[in-house]
Structure 1
Amino acid sequence: MVTSKFLSPKNDVAFRKIFGSEKHKDILIHFINDVLNLKGSDKVEKVTFLSTIQDPDIAYKKESIVDVLCTDQYGKQIIVEMQVSPQKGFEKRAQYYASKAYSRQLNSGQELGARYQDLKAVIFIAITDYVIFPDKKDYLSNHVILDAKTYERDLKDFSFTFIELPKFNISCIEGLSSIIEKWCYFFKHAPSTSEEDLKKLIGSDLVIQRAYEALNRFNWSEKELFTYEQEIKRIMDNQAVEDYMKQKARQEGREEGIRIGEEKGIRIGEEKGIRIGEENGKLERNVEIAKTMLKEGDSVDKIIRVTGLSRADIQKIK
């Protein structure tokens, strides 16, 4: 078995090493500018890392921690999140993260009324290994707050960008035509990238080369590799538990279905038995009535009207 030279950037440990460390700030800055297509004075020139813990009281939960949280030279807060395991309502979680980062800018000891005007924008960037918006065709989507009538962007402090990797279908390096496509290829195919492919991929984009170098397992210490592998194990264990619970739920569902089916079958059988019994009883009564009417000399037509029996039934009784 051949071990890949490059690790997976989708792994939380690798992702934070590349995009959440002082050593690789230039990669993070380049990535943000590329994904958001920032130009001129809007470009991020420098970043300062902040604590990724959104709520210290529940910091033991993954839901309260983001992968990367930083500010740019203007004080705008930028969250960069890698999400591998499908999570229902992740778009709501994104809004929660953004709102927490926004509100944390105000300290409790400050005069709130005087400080609201100083709140800085929050930008949320997510790379997901599953589809969040099934009705959207494009792998890259940008979301902002707009006036419902004029489509003017009066509320400018929140923006959300999602990269849905399953929707990115370019697997040939020659087919890549933009830097954002190169980043998507990096996230999706880094472990299977060969040295020859890497040369074609890099071109003049040296920061992509730096990102691959950060993923080179030979540049990782034994402790870092162990942590990386433990993260893989954690994900596999969680997936195994989830699969078991789904299988158990399906089995319980089947058993419940069988039980309900049996109960329904018994009920239907009982109802059918009662109905057949009633019909047989009614038939027997009509036969007795027909016999009596025949003895009294009543016509066959009259007997048919009274009993509902057929002419053939009455002939048999005769």
Structure 2
Amino acid sequence: MMISKFLDPKNDYAFKRIFGTEKNKDILIHFLNDIFAHTTNPIEEVTFLNPSQDPKLAAERKSIVDVLCTDKEGNRFIVEMQVGHEKGFEKRAQYYAARAYINQRDKGIEYKDLKNVTFLAIVNFELFPENPSYICHHQVLDIKTHKRDLKDFSFSFIELPKFKDKKNQLKTLTQKWCYFFKKAPHTTEEDLKEIIGSDFIIRKAYDELDRFSWSKKDLQIYESVDMKISADKAIHDTFFEKGLEQGLEKGLEQGLEQGIKKTAQRMIQMGIKIETVSEVTGLTHQEIERLKKE
């Protein structure tokens, strides 16, 4: 079996490496401008905000978003990759946006000066089954006039299972990005000539996924994240197949917690730094230290 040259951008570690680092800031800017081409003001610069520095977010393991950044006007963008189907994900999206909006007040910003919050999620499942479009944009509108008087929140979702275009059908940059997320591990160097064209930034995104340019340690972290995703899915499928209605939510929570701990222990055995284990699993440093003693 031939090893794929390009890794999977849906992997949380790979995703953050491409879209959440200073050296690849141009990729994030390009991506946001391509997805939000319908907006009037192109994004020229972004500043990353480290959510782990926010004690309110750090206290809630599931509130650590993949990418949180601002543009030069101070508008906030949350970019999230979600692989596994999560009940109530649309609720979580609104919660994240609300937290990002509220947290501006912690810096002493007056209400009149609060900036917009845009939430963008790339999901590997159908979130809105009745909507056939693979990308949708949601805003707050007046139900009679359809005017957008309340402009500070917007939500966009890319549902990868709905994206069916082949490589010879890719015309827009949005299509090319969706193909990137869905098909990168199955893409060859020869395919890129047909896919990329003159879009060198998307080419750079593919280059970041080149497994042969990754260090052994980075590949181990990538594989650990993959193991966690597989474990989570297996646990979910097991409970689902058994049809456990009572106690399902509690059982899933306990099972997922065990899967996270096993992933952390595996990473510890690989000699991976505590900071990285914490970032991948969401466990605190204290929890990881306890696992090391078990």
TM-score, normalising length: structure 2: 0.80
Deviation at residue 63 of structure 1 after TM alignment: 1.8
Decide whether the 8 Å contact of 2:51 with 2:57 is kept in 1. no
User: Structure 2: how far apart are the matches of 1:60 and 1:3?
Assistant: 39
Decide whether the 8 Å contact of 1:55 with 1:64 is kept in 2. no
Answering whether residue 188 of structure 2 is matched by residue 191 of structure 1, we say: no
Larger mean Cα displacement after TM superposition, 99-108 or 155-164: 99-108
User: Structure 2: how far apart are the matches of 1:75 and 1:166?
Assistant: 33
Tell me the residue number matched to 1:101.
Answer: 100
Deviations 1:223-260 (A, max 9, x none): 111100000011111122222323444599xxxxxxxx
Q: Which ranges in structure 1 are unaligned for 5 or more consecutive residues?
A: 253-318
SS in structure 2 opposite 1:162?
A: strand
Tell me the residue number matched to 1:209.
Answer: 203
Change beyond 3 A, Cα 1:87–1:54: farther
Tell me the residue number matched to 2:148.
Answer: 153
Flag the structure with larger Rg.
Answer: 1
Tell me the residue number matched to 1:37.
Answer: 37
Change beyond 3 A, Cα 1:86–1:55: farther
Decide whether the 8 Å contact of 2:167 with 2:195 is kept in 1. yes
Query: What's the RMSD between the two structures over aligned residues?
Result: 2.0
Deviations 1:4-46 (A, max 9, x none): 0000000000000000000100000000000011566x00001
SS in structure 2 opposite 1:124?
A: strand
Aligned positions of 1:6-21 closer than 5 A:
6-21=6-21
Q: Which ranges in structure 2 are unaligned for 5 or more consecutive residues?
A: 247-294
SS in structure 2 opposite 1:107?
A: helix
Change beyond 3 A, Cα 1:69–1:58: closer
Tell me the residue number matched to 2:111.
Answer: 116
User: Structure 2: how far apart are the matches of 1:240 and 1:151?
Assistant: 44
Specify the code of the residue in structure 1 equivalent to 2:127.
I
User: Structure 1: how far apart are the matches of 2:7 and 2:70?
Assistant: 28
Tell me the residue number matched to 1:164.
Answer: 159
SS in structure 2 opposite 1:106?
A: helix
Answering whether residue 62 of structure 2 is matched by residue 63 of structure 1, we say: yes
SS in structure 1 opposite 2:24?
A: helix
User: Structure 1: how far apart are the matches of 2:198 and 2:60?
Assistant: 41
User: Structure 2: how far apart are the matches of 1:61 and 1:200?
Assistant: 44
Specify the code of the residue in structure 2 equivalent to 1:92.
K
Answering whether residue 131 of structure 2 is matched by residue 132 of structure 1, we say: no
User: Structure 2: how far apart are the matches of 1:140 and 1:247?
Assistant: 30
Decide whether the 8 Å contact of 2:101 with 2:115 is kept in 1. yes
User: Structure 1: how far apart are the matches of 2:97 and 2:236?
Assistant: 28
Aligned residues: 247
User: Structure 2: how far apart are the matches of 1:241 and 1:8?
Assistant: 22
SS in structure 2 opposite 1:151?
A: coil
Deviation at residue 2 of structure 1 after TM alignment: 1.2
Decide whether the 8 Å contact of 1:139 with 1:167 is kept in 2. yes
Change beyond 3 A, Cα 1:168–1:62: farther
Tell me the residue number matched to 1:287.
Answer: none
Deviations 1:127-174 (A, max 9, x none): 00000001101001000001111011110000001000000011x211
User: Structure 2: how far apart are the matches of 1:173 and 1:120?
Assistant: 38
Deviation at residue 62 of structure 1 after TM alignment: 4.2
Specify the code of the residue in structure 1 equivalent to 2:35.
V
Decide whether the 8 Å contact of 2:104 with 2:114 is kept in 1. yes
User: Structure 2: how far apart are the matches of 1:238 and 1:166?
Assistant: 19
Deviations 1:71-98 (A, max 9, x none): 0011000000000000011111100000
Bigger relative CO (Cα 8 Å, ≥ 6 apart): 2
Deviation at residue 100 of structure 1 after TM alignment: 0.2
User: Structure 2: how far apart are the matches of 1:247 and 1:186?
Assistant: 32
Decide whether the 8 Å contact of 2:139 with 2:155 is kept in 1. yes
SS in structure 1 opposite 2:240?
A: helix
SS in structure 2 opposite 1:105?
A: helix
TM-score, normalising length: structure 1: 0.74
Change beyond 3 A, Cα 1:130–1:62: farther
User: Structure 1: how far apart are the matches of 2:84 and 2:59?
Assistant: 18
